[in-house]
Structure 1
Amino acid sequence: MRRRIRQAVLFPLLLALGCGDGPAKTAEPPRQAPAGQQETARAEGICKEHGVLEALCTKCNPKLAAVFQAKGDWCEEHGFPESVCPKCHPERGGRPSVDVAGDEAPADGTMVRLKSGDTARLAGIETVRAVPGRGVSEIVAPAVITYDPSRVAQVNARSPGVVKQLQADVGAWVREGAPLAIIESASLSADQSRLDAVRSRVRMAEVNYRREEELERKGISSRKEVLAAEQELREARAESEALAASLGVVGADSGSRGRYVVTAPLPGIVTQRNVSPGRFVDPHETLFEIIDTSTMWAEVAVPEEALGSVRIGGPVVITVNGMEGREFRGTIAQLASFIDPQTRTAKARVRLANPNGLLRANMYGQARIATGGSRSSAAVPPGAIQRAKTAQVAFVRLSPNEYETRRVQVAPTRGNDGLVEVASGIVPGEDVVVAGSFFLKTETLRDSIGAGCCPVDMEK
């Protein structure tokens, strides 16, 4: 708490002193803009009256003039820093040229020098030594969990009829072949009657065929009559087998006239039930949806520029939002043959085992795809990384009063130790700032009064 209070007091003091370099210039008090304009300017960070960044406005804060004059960044004609002079550089809008790019991070290698070793202590600056990272080259890409399409079953009625009984509901886990519903069907009853008649015909054809064979042996019947009886038997048997197979597909129980059982085609969870008892259904309707969640897909959006390093069968580690510390491992099973024209990514599918049901469809996460190469990397605490829009920076201590800005590329959180792996910008063994880095960042930003150009003395 004492460190926070000290910083809160010292930062305004630093702003007022302008790094403590050079004499303060006198100037007439600036005119006050209307209240509405002041609020707009404050929101944009621009001095509405003079058209430059408020933090760099030497008209409103004349003490800053000496700072910029000392570094040679001064427009004598207009009384502004040359880098932001709204008269000489109207295209910059009162901001340094680097600001036009929209990058809020300081340039790589920007130095911050403190006037004494005690300044770091007063600013609450603390460092830790970067340790070696895993060093495995990998691609990081967003992922979303989906069902395995081959393990999703849409269960339809096999014959039109009326639902007499339901034997499964939404959320229930069912085994393969488990009964889901019993349906009473008039067309099924008609087919069963046809089957009975055809079976009687088969029995009669068998008796007739045996009689014709006996008569042929006695010389009473001709061979032609025997062949005709045989043909009749074959046709009757074929019709009987076809009807029996059709009824078997429907799921008719020989003991239940006009009824059949709808069964589960695979083990899984019932996710939809679209019928109720007494409703008439036909084969075009989906009665149930069953999904086997023991295996899930992770659909990974692989950036176009990384596709050359991705291959089918390559190992992938998936982490899911809301399940910190858990990793799901799989391999790339499919890789799209086209690029999404909007996102410029290709979809890769990773099959993941899900025996405990932790993974659910539409969960979002992150995929780490190993590319088979290796690189040197460092691991640091998350507090060492400062973010500024699209850039990430860290500060490395070179000496007790000298710090260097490093732009870094950060990989996902490294395991359960909470460290962040830095792919570039920091090497193992360097002392990285983990507390007080925000103070150093303010000294390097373009809208900071010193912009890293002058020593910082917090002991005044």
Structure 2
Amino acid sequence: MSTNNSGKNSKPIIVGIVLGAVIGSLVTFGAYNVLTPTGSKEATSMAPAEKQPLYWVAPMDANYKSDKPGKSPMGMDLVAVYDDGGKGPDEGAGTIRISPDVVNNLGVRTSTVSFKSLQTEINTVGYVTYDEDRLVHIHPRVQGWIEKLHVTATGDPVKKDQPLYEIYSPELVNAQEEFLLALDRNNSRLITAAQNRLTALQLPKSAITELKQSRKVQQRITFYAPQNGVVENLKIREGFFVKPGSTIMSIGDLSEVWVEAEVFERQAGQVKTGTPVTMTLDYLPGKTWQGQVDYIYPTLDAKTRTVKLRLRFKNEKGYFKPNMFAQIVIHTTGDESALLIPKEALIRTGNQDRVVLALGEGSFKSVAVSVGRYDSESVEILEGLSEGEKIVSSAQFLLDSESSKSSDFKRMSVIEEMSDAQAMVDSAESTEKMDMSDTVPSARVNGTVVSVMVEHRMVTIDREAIVEWDREAQTVDFIVDDSVDMSLFSVGAYVMFTFEIRDGNYFIVSAMAMDKADGEGE
């Protein structure tokens, strides 16, 4: 009995506990809402709403805009463009503002305009020759007959004091007899005069000494090499009769050589004595030699319009041989600093050079510049920029395409088309979403020739629309490949042609003259 009564009494207790927990939770929730500070509610209600895009733009074509997200014509995801609140600087007409996302997707890089020394390289050729300061010509001072020749061929190496030739000369015989007569008379004045005459006739000192000792006249006199070197211009053989003034041979010392190079008239002002040079030879690939400009000749070649330079190189190992051709690189450095920008930052057109200024906070503007000299990496700016300004050195063609629409100078159509076509090629290589079969490396189109530059093989054509590229009709500059007949292009001619994209330029690879009616019939 007691067990059943205790079970009946436990049920009301459990129900009471559950109801108490529910009522406690409700009371706690209500108290929290009542006691919560008003400022917290306001802070929650005033939380900034998510920023809404103004529109969406293709990452590789700023001209393509959409009011909703999606895909660009190239198959890439559109990028949202937000209101920048007008934070970027405004330089007037031509200023554009781009969101940071688009700037990052375009891969925009900037460089600072600064004063630096312009270092240019002049590539030319030269040829090895003898050091003329070490080239000795052998001439006799008497007439006679060559009785013995100790060197027999041009190019033979000789050492100093080595016998060269033996000569019989009646004049030398008479001079020796006069010297012996003066010795017999023991007349100092006659002895001195006779010895001076022998010296003037280039009789070797060894022969004079032997003559004093032996008191016998030598019929054949031996002459010796005055220096080390090789025989050059050997013009005698045994038995030849020679006279004073005739060249018997030359001896060139090849321990040091000259290299004579030439630079064009427009480059001559950049080269000075002491300018460093680098030389390479075809027959020794991989080897380079460092030297400097030793002398600049004072005259200009009237036919080639070039100035000759002289370079010096040591030749202890005998690598350099006269008349060898050499490739020369002259490293010139300007004395004065020049305002320089990277070469890739310059946008060159047919009638204007310009760059894209990076104004900061996503603002950009194309400005015209005047350029001067170039080197391998930089270009000199004469007008249009100031030191410290930032310019765009990568993706500047796309920014220029947008800025030029409202600038005070007209944008050439070739720049826009080159930018869009290059963007198409880059996009095809960088995304896996585009199938390789969709890329168009070349296109065939009809057009009317507007202008022709025969010397430069360039033509301007008012071409029709390109369906494959979804491009409208436009006037574009083309380069005509060497395999295409330039006579097909005359002002007003209507042609059908195929062009290819090579390094951002348009090359016409085939062309055919057309009648206007035929083109319209297609």
Range into which the TM-score falls when normalised by the shorter chain:
0.3 to 0.5
Q: Which has the larger radius of gyration?
A: 2
- Alignment TM-score, normalising by the size of structure 1: 0.46
Question: Comparing both structures, which one devotes a greater share of its residues to strand?
Answer: 2
